[in-house]
Every structure is written in C-alpha cells, then in structure tokens.
Amino acid sequence: MKRSITTVLVGAALLMAGAVAAPMAAAADDRIEPDPQIAAMLEAVPGGVVLDAYNAVWPELDMEMTVEPARPSGLAERSSVTALSSVGACASGKVCAFSLSGTNGSKLSWGTCNTSFPVGTFTVRSIADARSSGYAQAKYGTTVRATAYAGGWKNVYGSVSRITCVS
C-alpha cells in the first residue's frame, strides 16, 4: 500500500512539474532573437515577420530571407540536394539574391514577379532566376549590375539597392 501511494505521489509531482515547465518553454519561444542580418532587414524593409533566428518573411512582398547559421571552422559545407528545376539554392519558381557568389550564403527570395524589390541592407553577391521564363536583374538605382535569365544565375559586382523581376 505504501509503495502505491508513493508511486501516485511521484507521478503527480512529475505531472505538476511538466504542467509548469510547458508554459515556461512556450514563453521562451516568444523571445526569438533574430540573426543580425535579419534584424537589419526588418528595420530596412518594414512588414517582415520573424519565423526563427535564421528565417523571416515579408508576406505583402512575397519575400523570404534565410540566413546561413555560422558553423564552427573545419566543418564541411552542407550538401546541396535541390529540386530539378531549382537554380543552386534558389527553389523552383523563385527569384533569389545571395550574400555570396555562386548562389551561396544567406538568401532573399521572392515568389512574385513584374516588380522591383528593395534589398535594404542585404549585400547581394549573386542572383538566380529559377523560373521558366523572363529574367531578374540586380540594380543600383538605374544601373544594372547583373542579369540572370530564366534557369540561370549570375555573380554580382558592386552595390545593389533593388532586385527587378521581369516575366
């Protein structure tokens, strides 16, 4: 009898501890600290929503930002298994800007076209157009820095203020 009472009391204590810990864990999730690159873009381009420390979206612009987490030196690059119609790390149907050449690094991507998108403080070093037609351009004011045609990508040299997408 004593053993079953002890078991019930221990079980109840564990349930109470779990009930108290769950809301505390949920409250911690509400305080996501975004990567500094995402924080800077949120200031430069209003309307963004932080998904986690390395991802944010701007629903009205159909824009997403993904930041590569820093990895300890000596670790190999992650493998890049992508869909057949993607271009590098740019998913099929999207136009993307990358912080490094060769479609590497942090990424901004858009799912809509026939418009011009601000890049805020994001440093653009390559662009990709993973659509079946049209082209994307990296521009600084009216100066075209690079043009990526459908299914292709280009490295970008110089400052960029906007990405323009044409069907």
Instruction: Provide the pLDDT confidence category of residue 73 given band limits of 50, 70 and 90.
Output: low
Together in a domain, 94 and 135: yes
N-to-C CA span, the chain: 77
Specify the pLDDT at position 3.
52
pLDDT in tens, 81-92: 444 478 989 999
Mean pLDDT within 89-105: 94
Say if residue 106's pLDDT is above 90: yes
Query: Which residues, 6 or more positions from 58, have their beta carbon under 8 angstroms from its beta carbon?
Result: 45, 47, 48, 49, 64, 65
Residue 125 contacts residue 100 (beta carbons within 8 Å): yes
pLDDT in tens, 11-65: 444 444 444 444 443 333 467 889 999 998 999 888 999 999 999 999 988 899 9
Say if residue 102's pLDDT is above 70: yes
pLDDT in tens, 108-127: 999 988 888 889 999 999 99
Together in a domain, 44 and 56: yes
Together in a domain, 45 and 113: yes
Please count the other Cβ atoms lying within 10 Å of the Cβ belonging to residue 77: 8
Domain of residue 8: give its range: 1-31
Together in a domain, 22 and 94: no
Specify the pLDDT at position 30.
61
Together in a domain, 49 and 21: no
